[in-house]
Amino acid sequence: MVIMTAMNEPQEQFIIDEFFDCTVRGAFQRARIYRPEAGERARAKFREALRSSLTKRAVEYSEPVSEDDHVANIVSLADELSDGHTDVLVNGRFRIGVAQKALNLYLKYLWCIGKATTPPHCPFDAVVIQMLVDCGSMNWTKLDSAAEYRMLVTAAKTRAAGKTLAEWELETYGG
Secondary structure of the chain in HEC code, one letter for each residue: CCCCCCCCHHHHHHHHHHHHHHHHHHHHCCCCCECCCCCHHHHHHHHHHHHHHHHHHHHHHHCCCCHHHHHHHHHHHHHHHHHHCCCCEHHHCCCHHHHHHHHHHHHHHHHHCCCCCCCCCCCCCHHHHHCCCCCCCCCCCCCCCHHHHHHHHHHHHHHHCCCCHHHHHHHHHHC
Q: Are 90 and 33 in contact (CB under 8 A)?
A: yes
Count of residues making up the chain: 175
| Parent domain of 49 | 10-174
Q: Residue 5 above 90 pLDDT?
A: no
Residue 44 lies in a domain: yes
Mean per-residue pLDDT, 112-116: 93
> What pLDDT is attached to residue 136?
87
Q: How far apart are CA 151 and CA 148, in angstroms?
A: 5
Q: Residue 3 above 60 pLDDT?
A: no
Residue 67 lies in a domain: yes
Q: Residue 124 above 90 pLDDT?
A: yes
Residue 2 lies in a domain: no
pTM of the predicted protein model = 0.94
Classify residue 108 by burial, with Cβ atoms within 10 Å: 0-12, 13-18, 19+: buried
Q: How far apart are CA 101 and CA 6, in angstroms?
A: 29
Residue 99 lies in a domain: yes
pLDDT tens digits, 7-56: 688 998 999 999 999 999 999 988 999 999 999 999 999 999 999 999 99
pLDDT tens digits, 64-107: 999 999 999 999 999 999 999 999 999 999 999 999 999 999 99
Residue 5 lies in a domain: no
- Band the pLDDT of 175: cuts 50, 70, 90: low
Residue 126 lies in a domain: yes
Contacts of 155 (CB under 8 A, 6+ apart): 132, 133, 134, 135
Domain tally, the chain: 1
Residue 4 lies in a domain: no
Residue 3 lies in a domain: no
- C-alpha closest to that of 54 among 138, 152, 123: 123
